Structure formats: C-alpha cells, structure tokens
Structure 1
C-alpha cells in the first residue's frame, strides 16, 4: 500500500490528483504542521526538510510534490501522462520548473510575509514585489495557453496536474484576474471526475472538522 504523508490544502493535493487519476489505492497519513509533527524524529527520518508531501512506496521514499508526480506517472506509463517524444518531455519539464520557480515561489513569499512569519519578521514591501513578479509570470503562461487545451502538445500531462494546483493557489491570491484563458483552463481541470478538492474546499473542510470537534468537546 502506498503511503502519502500530508493532507489538503498542502501540496499533497498535487500527489492526490495523480493517485486518483491512476486509480491507485493509498493510505493518507496526516501530518500536523501547526502541532510540530513534521519536526518529530519519525517524520524527519523520511524528509529531513520537514515538509509534506512525502510518498512511501515500498522501500522507496520520495519527497517534493512535482518529483512524486513524475515518479507516479513514469511508474504507470499506461496512463500516458508522460509525453512520448523527447521534445515534448522537454517542454513538460520546462513548464513544471516554470510553475514551481516563477509562479509558486512568489505565491509562497506572499503567504510567508502575510501570516506565516512572526509579525516582526514580515516585510510588506516584499509582498508587493512578489505580487508584481507573479503577475508578470502569469501573463507569460496566459499567452502560452491562448490557443491550447493543455500545456504540452495536444494531451494532458504531468505538467497540467502540476499547473492546476499552482494556478488554483494563484487564483486564491487574485493573481488570475487578468488571465481569462488560465481561469477557463483551471475550471476545466477541476471539472475532471477525479480532481481533488480545490484549496478553498480543503480549507472549508478543515474548518468544518474543527467546528465539529469543538461541538463534540462542548457536548
């Protein structure tokens, strides 16, 4: 049984999507980040970086959400999520790296300086810089997707499953207001039958669980 450490709304959503699309059975093991469970020795033995997601497949441990996506797609090639030609694979890697470095990183800076860092370490000016950088790169992707259904060639690939989560995050931060094509693309991806919950849906589920838990304690 495959084990996945981490739960929505984290980047574990990227892995959940691939697992769902591939029809694989897996066990999800929540890791309480706020409770410091990612800093305990048992978890650090899996990922010294203390981050989720982590995939355990037999004796193999894989970290980093994009790497896990690629591993699963390569292990189960019958799904066709890895392009056949080396040229198309190069483009798939290109857009995955673009998404992770040019769009996700400024989004992560916004989150850090908005509420993750202690208040005395937050830099409001970096939030504005990150927003500007993110919008510029979103515009690049918007132009690329102008006449496309998928990021690479004419069929879905790992790059699209990576992009959907990243763009959902960007959408939550109002970064897609000037990108109608990306908004339509995002909607089409989450319309897939095996799509995981969106970030907003995952947060809502967490809040609902917290309210239920409080009610049970109060009762």
Structure 2
C-alpha cells in the first residue's frame, strides 16, 4: 500500500497529480509543513528534515517531490507517464530540473507574498524580484512550446506534471502569463486535466 504524507497546497500536490493520473490506490496522511505535526517523532523517522512530501511504498521511503514523481511514473506508469528512449528520458530530467532550479522559488514567492502571508509580512520588493526572475526562463519555455502540446516526446509525461505544478504557484500568485501565450495555453491544458482536478479535490 502506498502512503503519501503531505497536504494539497504543499509540494505534495505534484505527487497527488501523479497518483491521480495513474489511478493508484494510496493512503493520504495530512502533514502540514507549517504545523508542529511535522516534528512528530514517528514522522521524523521517515523524513528527518521534517518536510513534505514523503512517500512510503512497501520498504521504500522516499522524499523530494520530483524524485517521488519519477519513481511512481517509471514503476507504475511506464507506458503512460514515462518514455522509452534514453534521449527522451534525459529531457524529462532536463525540464523538471529547469522548473525547479529556474522558476520554483520565484513562483512560490509570488503566492506567498500575494496570497498566503499576513499583510504585514508581505513584500512588494520580493514580488517584483520574483516576477523579474521568471522573465528569462519563461521566454525560453515559451519559445520551446511553440507548436507543442507537451514537453517531451509529443506526449503527456511526468515532466508536464512537474512543470505545471511549479507554474501553478505563480498562477495562484496572480502572475500574468499573457505575454507568454504558449506557456499560458500549455498551462491551462495541463491544469485542466481531470486527474489534476481530482487531486485538488483530495
């Protein structure tokens, strides 16, 4: 039995999307990374950093959302969310790491400082810096997506889940994707998938 620890609006949402796409049965344990429950001794045995998500599948205990998504997609969705060619597999990693290293921090800053934090803790400077940091990677992504519906091998893969998951924070943080028409089209299509809606509903 698969068990996932985390809550829907944390990085666990990336994994919930994958689990829904693969229609896998799993137990969902709500662990809020901003509450003391993350420091419960039994949870720290699974994730000593007290972070989410954490996946348990049999004897395997796995942390880091993108690693979990790679594992689930390859083990349970090889024909659905994974790819056959090594060259395409490299692209899965490339676009996932691109999303995480080039955009995730800025995307999270946008939703934190526009929606999540108390008014007194919000920073307009942080918002402006985050939007500036997103410009170049979004230009690159927008150019790449011209004439494409998906990131890799002309099919929906785990890379699309990971990319859309990261960008959904910026969307929730009221980022204007209008100048990046290919990204906006792509993001709307991925986030409109029935599995994504199922994952959001819990």
TM-score by length of 1: 0.81
Q: Per-residue deviation at 1:123?
A: 6.0
Over alpha carbons, which structure has the higher Rg? 1
The equivalences for 1:107-122 within 5 A come to 107-110=107-110
Answer whether contact 1:83 1:89 (CA < 8 A) is retained. yes
Q: Distance in 2 between matches of 1:166 and 1:197?
A: 18
**Cα 1:157/1:41, change in 2 over 3 Å:** same
Secondary structure of the 2:4 match is strand
Q: Distance in 1 between matches of 2:123 and 2:78?
A: 47
Question: Which residue number corresponds to residue 172 of structure 1?
Answer: 172
Question: Which residue number corresponds to residue 66 of structure 2?
Answer: 66
The equivalences for 1:16-35 within 5 A come to 16-35=16-35
TM-score by length of 2: 0.87
Question: Which residue number corresponds to residue 196 of structure 2?
Answer: 195
Answer whether contact 1:13 1:196 (CA < 8 A) is retained. no
Aligned Cα RMSD in Å?
A: 2.5
Q: Distance in 2 between matches of 1:5 and 1:38?
A: 10
Q: Per-residue deviation at 1:170?
A: 1.8
Answer whether contact 1:134 1:175 (CA < 8 A) is retained. no
Secondary structure of the 2:196 match is coil
Q: Distance in 2 between matches of 1:169 and 1:177?
A: 16
Question: Which residue number corresponds to residue 213 of structure 1?
Answer: none
**Cα 1:55/1:95, change in 2 over 3 Å:** same
Answer whether contact 2:108 2:169 (CA < 8 A) is retained. no
**Cα 1:6/1:113, change in 2 over 3 Å:** same
Structure 2 unaligned regions, length at least 5: none
